[in-house]
Structure 1
Amino acid sequence: MPNTVPDAPVHVAVGVILDADRNILLTRRHQDSHQGGLWEFPGGKVELGESLEVALARELYEELAISIGRTTPLLEIRHDYGDKVVRLDVHVVWQFSGTPCAVEGQPMKWVAPAELAGYAFPEANRPIIAAIEKLLPDA
């Protein structure tokens, strides 16, 4: 029997993008992707040799055509879905330039923090919602 080593977690840079009114930008995962059809905070895989900051900027530009300004770390999450383990490095994007648009054709919308609980998210995103509630309690 071959010696099996569990796959390394998929390292993902995630942005909690805020507008001037402190609404949060959500996108919906494509149906054919892992956790397809669920809403998420935008971002994507950190490539080999790429820093987290560079990955976050690249992913948000590729997905939404925005350039990020000031960001701060929010939390790091490790979640095992059974078929995939993810490591989410989550940053709040306080400032950005450009007008977000769905470059990949994914649905997107701005949502007030108090409305996040009404959206279906991948399980790994649940701690992000809890962290947002602490960060923006009156929003």
Structure 2
Amino acid sequence: MPSTEAKALVRVAVGVVCDDEHRILIARRAEQRHQGGLWEFPGGKIEEGETLAQALVRELHEELGIDVAPERCEPLMTIEHDYGDKAVRLEVCWVRQFQGVPTGKEGQPLRWIDVADLNDYAFPKANDAIVEAIQGA
């Protein structure tokens, strides 16, 4: 009999970080993490009491070492996806202005890629709609 217990929805702040050449920053997930080995748009879990912008500013600083003003986080979309073992709500923002040079502070490889090349990278299934939105922008 299927379980009727509802999974907790994990809220995740996601940044579509762009540079002056309109390239997008992607990071490769560590192998041991959920959806490990796939590429992703930087971000992380929204903590209790944080707004989307606060979480994104914190996560981008922790993961990439860049500073973003909260008012520079422009909402793009929200996606809910159930992986079976985990359900997520991705709250996605454009980040077109930041200070600093992004580096993989957690050892994760980073790449700046052209929008046209997004389909050449394997992303978690929940990211498909983000890729489509970026390509349509």
Q: What is the TM-score with the length of structure 1 in the denominator?
A: 0.93
The amino acid that maps onto 1:73 is: P
Distance 1:104 1:77 in 2: 25
Q: 1:134 offset after TM fit, Å?
A: 1.3
Question: Are 2:68 and 2:98, in contact at CA under 8 Å, matched by a contact in 1?
Answer: yes
Residues 1:5 and 2:42 are matched in the alignment: no
SS of 2:111's equivalent in the other structure is: strand
73, 80, 88: which one aligns with 1:78: 80
Q: 1:4 offset after TM fit, Å?
A: 5.7
2:49 — aligned with what? 49
Q: 1:51 offset after TM fit, Å?
A: 1.0
* Cα deviations by residue, 1:96-136 (Å, 9 ceiling, x for unpaired): 0011011000011100000000000000000000000111x
**What are structure 1's unaligned runs of at least 5 residues?**
none
Q: 1:28 offset after TM fit, Å?
A: 0.3
* Cα deviations by residue, 1:44-63 (Å, 9 ceiling, x for unpaired): 00001111110000000000
Distance 1:73 1:56 in 2: 11
2:17 — aligned with what? 17
1:89 — aligned with what? 91
* Cα deviations by residue, 1:65-120 (Å, 9 ceiling, x for unpaired): 00114221110000000000000000000100011011000011100000000000
2:27 — aligned with what? 27
Of all paired residues, the percent bearing the same amino acid is 55
Distance 1:49 1:71 in 2: 18
1:40 — aligned with what? 40
Question: Are 2:53 and 2:73, in contact at CA under 8 Å, matched by a contact in 1?
Answer: no
Q: Flag as ranges the 4+ runs of structure 1 deviating above 4 A.
A: none
Q: 1:8 offset after TM fit, Å?
A: 1.7
Distance 1:77 1:4 in 2: 22
RMSD: 1.1
Distance 1:120 1:84 in 2: 19
Q: What is the TM-score with the length of structure 2 in the denominator?
A: 0.94
